[in-house]
Every structure is written in C-alpha cells, then in structure tokens.
A and B are shown apart, each in its own frame.
Chain A
Amino acid sequence: MSDTTDIDALIAKLANALGEHLARHDRHRPLMVGVHTGGVWVARKLHELLAIEAPLGTLNINFYRDDFTRIGMHPMVTPSDLFNVDDRHVVLIDDVLHTGRTIRAALNEIFDYGRPASVTLGVLVERSGREIPVQADAIGQSLNLSSHEYLKLSGPDPLGLEITDKT
C-alpha cells in the first residue's frame, strides 16, 4: 500500500473513534486488550493515546482457533496476559478485521477470564470478506479487497500495511 507512512494518522483516527464510542455508551475505566501479534502493536499505541489506566492485556487466541483440527498446534510465542475482566468494559483491539474468525475466538477466550460488562471492538483496518457476523465499533480505515488479496500489518517499528496478491 502506498500510504504506509500514514499508519500514525490511522491510529489517531481509531483512537478518536474509540474515545467517542466509549463516551457515548458511558463505558468508563476501560480495560484494553490487544490480539497477538499485530493487534498488540496497535493496542500499545492506543493505550497511550487514550491514557488508559489499567495495564494493557494481551490475547493469544491459538488455543481457541477453529482450525486446530486442520493445521495442528502453532508454535507458541507469547501466552495470553489478561487480568480479571469481571464487570469491566473491555476494549478489544486487532489490526485487521477480515473473516471475523479471530474475533470469534478472542471473544470466547475473554469470557473464559470472567464476565465483562461490555466488549467494544476497535480495528485498524476493516476489510471485506466477513464469514461470520462480526462488526467493529470503531475503525481506522475501511478497504474493499478481493478474496485473493491479503492484507498484513508489519511491525512493530515502524508499523506498515502490506497487500500481497495470493493468486
């Protein structure tokens, strides 16, 4: 993608949209959680921009994937690091919302840590290709891509968006 240098602008836009969404729904003292790996990179920046008090949580959804029976165990790098989510307003962050399967897995995992008061989903890029009914509450950018185009966030420093054609 040509405008990779505008990642900071996208993150700022997402931070604004998230801030507004949380204020509009009276979701105070939120608990931010990033999905490994790209979601954590984005969440780190948002956590700072929105000055969230509670430490950043991270989710590794490997144990919740729906393709374990197809591809087996992934090598594990970083396990989930999440505090008690009971009655908290969780803000879930991922880099790219595509099929929706990652978010399905992440939601399942969050609920195994307790019963949150609410979950808000923020993504840097929302792209076409949903396979299950999942939608973001706040987004940095929307992209229409064909099924053979693959969008990936590279990072952590600097962050960049790349589109590769898988045909």
Chain B
Amino acid sequence: MQSPGNTFQVDAHGRLKHFLSIDGLERALLINILDTAESFAGVGERAVKKVPLLRGKTIVNLFFEPSTRTRTTFELAAKRLSADVLNINASTSSTTKGESLLDTLRTLEAMHCDMFVVRHAQSGAAHFIARHAAPHISVINGGDGRHAHPTQAMLDMFTIRRHKGNFASLKVAIVGDVTHSRVARSQIHALVTLGAAEVRVVAPRTLVPPGLESLGVSVHHDLRAGLSDVDVVILLRLQNERMQGALLPSSHEYFQYYGVTEERLSAADPDAIVMHPGPLNRGVEIDSDVADGSRSVILQQVSYGIAIRMAVMSMAIGSHAAADQEDG
C-alpha cells in the first residue's frame, strides 16, 4: 500500500515535520531517529526522569481506538520531555455526539496545541489530520487501520540494532497475521530501508495480502522453513477484532501450525531474539516458554518505545520551531 504524499512528512531541509509512515523516508532519517532515541534512552534511569526540551509545548493524544501500551508510552515520552499532555479518548467524547473530525481538530487547535498523536481504525486518518491541521502543528501516527504504525516499527528497529548492531547481515522473520497488521507493514518498510539482508514473512495463505513480495520480502507458509537460520523473529498478534470471515478454523488450530514454541525456535540462529509488539496472545501465536524465555526481548521493546517516541516528538516539534525561526 502506498502512502499518500510521502514527501509530506519531511520539510525542504529534510527534517521530520510529521511522522505518518515509514514508507518514503530515507535511510539517513531513520538512522537519525534511532541515534536520537539512543541519546534519550538513559533519561529514564536518572534521578530526575525528565529533560526540559519541550517545556511549554502541548501534546494531544487523540485516540479514536482503544490502546493502553501505545497511549501510555506516548504520554510518558511527552512527559519526560516536559511537555503538557492531553489524553482524549475519542470514543467517549464529542465524536460520539456527532462532531466531525475536522471540528474536533479545530477545537483542539483553538486550545493552542502543538502536536497530535493520532490513533484511528481508519487507514489514512493521521494523514488526513496532518493535511488539515494548522501549519504549526505536527502529527504523529500512533496506528491507522491496517496502514501503518511507524513508531512501533522504529522501536522494533531500535531493539534489533541494540542486540544485533548492524542490519546488513540480518535475516528477519515476521510471523503471523500480516494482512491485518499495520505493524508488519511498517516493519517491512523499515527493515528494507535500513538494508536488512533478508526479510521473510511467515503466515498461512489466508493472512498474507497478495503482492506482498513487491515490498522486498519472501513469503513462507511453513513455520520451520521460515525460521531457519534467522537472527530475529518478530511475532504478530492474531487480530481477532479485525477479522471478518472464516480466515482461520480456530486460534487453537493456528497454534498447531504457527504458534512459536521453544522446539520450533530451534530452527533459528542460536542467538536469535524474539520480539512481539504486544499484547500477547499466549498459546495462540506464542508459547509462554518463549515469551518468558531468555531470547525474548518483548519487555525491552516497551522501554525502548519511550525513547523512540521522545525522539520523533522532539524532532518534529523542533523542525517546526526551526522553520518558524527561518520564516520570521
């Protein structure tokens, strides 16, 4: 799926203005995000877990879809940057009273907010908001429909780089429901852009969208073959809430063929790491022994997510600040 307006995210000087999808961003910018996140990674371990960078800025978490992990890590990231944060759970707010998305947007703009973090069940919602928001506002996509979840992909890249160092020699397997996964799409773009040696998608035929190979991945339907010699195993959540129609006989059946167990993991490189964006369906896509095992880096992904979100927030607000200065 192509994102509308790839260049729209970046200003004339190559600085990140909005962060909507990985698709269309250059390798140098992705590396800049990872490097910036690296410098924020230690902030959570200090006596004062805060830096004053975004003091006086207001960030709105605009969530039209339920989320705990993503919203709280965005909130914590904003607070560690000293920004003020508004959490708007749109399913319980005026949108249910019939207010249009644009009216919600205008109302929040009138409150002098600087950034919107948007999560929406509709693909393209974050782009839509970025296009219609006032020029001083940055928009970050916190997940839109089946389209993209760029901060999740970048925190995954950060986790991989921390453990494996370099992308060039890496074999990565993404296992699970790719059809419904915005995470998988963003991960594939990020891994390909960062130059991973091989990206495999492992899933039943019903959960792989047609034409996926055009993104630069190979598709496997056999788990053991798909995991053979890989350095990184990324599991995806089986998204029951997004499934319509009989794509799978049952989640039990899914575990029989695609659930990752210690035994099946033995096909991978002995130093392979296991990742999962959460929340986990234990006994469906992942066995508890693997989730809690020594190769699992699932909880580190959560911690690194804060650093990545601090990086993109400060880069996007910083580029607006710099642009204002140049104009003024």
Contact = CB atoms under 8 A, between A and B. Distances in A.
Genuine A/B complex:
yes
Interface of A: 60, 62-64, 68-73, 75-80, 84, 86, 108-109, 111-114
Given A63-B51, A70-B321, A76 B39 contact: yes
A146 to B, nearest CB: 25
B325 interface: yes
5 contacts: A71-B321, A76-B36, A112-B48, A113-B46, A113-B47
B31 to A, nearest CB: 10
B319 interface: yes
B295 interface: no
Contact of A71 (B40, B52, B325): B325
B47 A114 contact: yes
Interface string B32-67: 100110111111001110111100000000000000
Given A68-B318, A72-B321, A80 B35 contact: no
Contacts of B52: 63-64, 108
A72 B51 contact: no
Interface residues of B, number: 25
Dominant SS among interface residues on chain A: loop
A68 B42 contact: no
B15 interface: yes
B26 to A, nearest CB: 15
B59 to A, nearest CB: 15
Given A63-B51, A72-B322, A112-B47, A79 B38 contact: yes
Contacts of B319: 72-73
A73 B50 contact: no
B315 interface: yes
A112 B325 contact: no
A107 to B, nearest CB: 12
Interface string B227-266: 0000000000000000000000000000000000000000
A52 to B, nearest CB: 22
B296 interface: no
B42 A73 contact: no
A78 B320 CA distance: 24
Contacts of A109: 51
Contact of B15 (A60, A68, A72, A80): A72
Contact of B321 (A68, A76, A112): A68
B288 interface: no
Nearest to B51: A63
A62 B42 CA distance: 14
A80 B41 CA distance: 10
Contacts of B89: none
A72 B322 CA distance: 5
Contacts of A63: 39-40, 43, 51-53
Contact of B39 (A60, A64, A72, A84): A60
B314 interface: yes
Residue from the set B42, B319, B320, B321 with the largest chain A CB neighbour count within 10 Å:
B321
Contacts of A108: 52
Nearest to B57: A69
Give 5 nearest A-B pairs by CB, closest first: A72-B318, A72-B322, A79-B39, A63-B51, A73-B318
B32 A75 contact: yes
Given A63-B43, A75-B35, A77-B35, 20 more contacts: A68-B53, A68-B321, A69-B321, A70-B321, A70-B325, A71-B318, A72-B320, A73-B315, A76-B36, A76-B39, A79-B38, A79-B39, A79-B40, A80-B39, A108-B52, A112-B47, A112-B48, A112-B50, A113-B47, A114-B47
Nearest to A62: B39
B36 A73 contact: yes
A76 B31 CA distance: 11
Contacts of A86: 47
B316 to A, nearest CB: 9
A71 to B, nearest CB: 5
Interface in B3-39: 15, 32, 35-36, 38-39
A111 B48 CA distance: 8
A112 B322 CA distance: 26
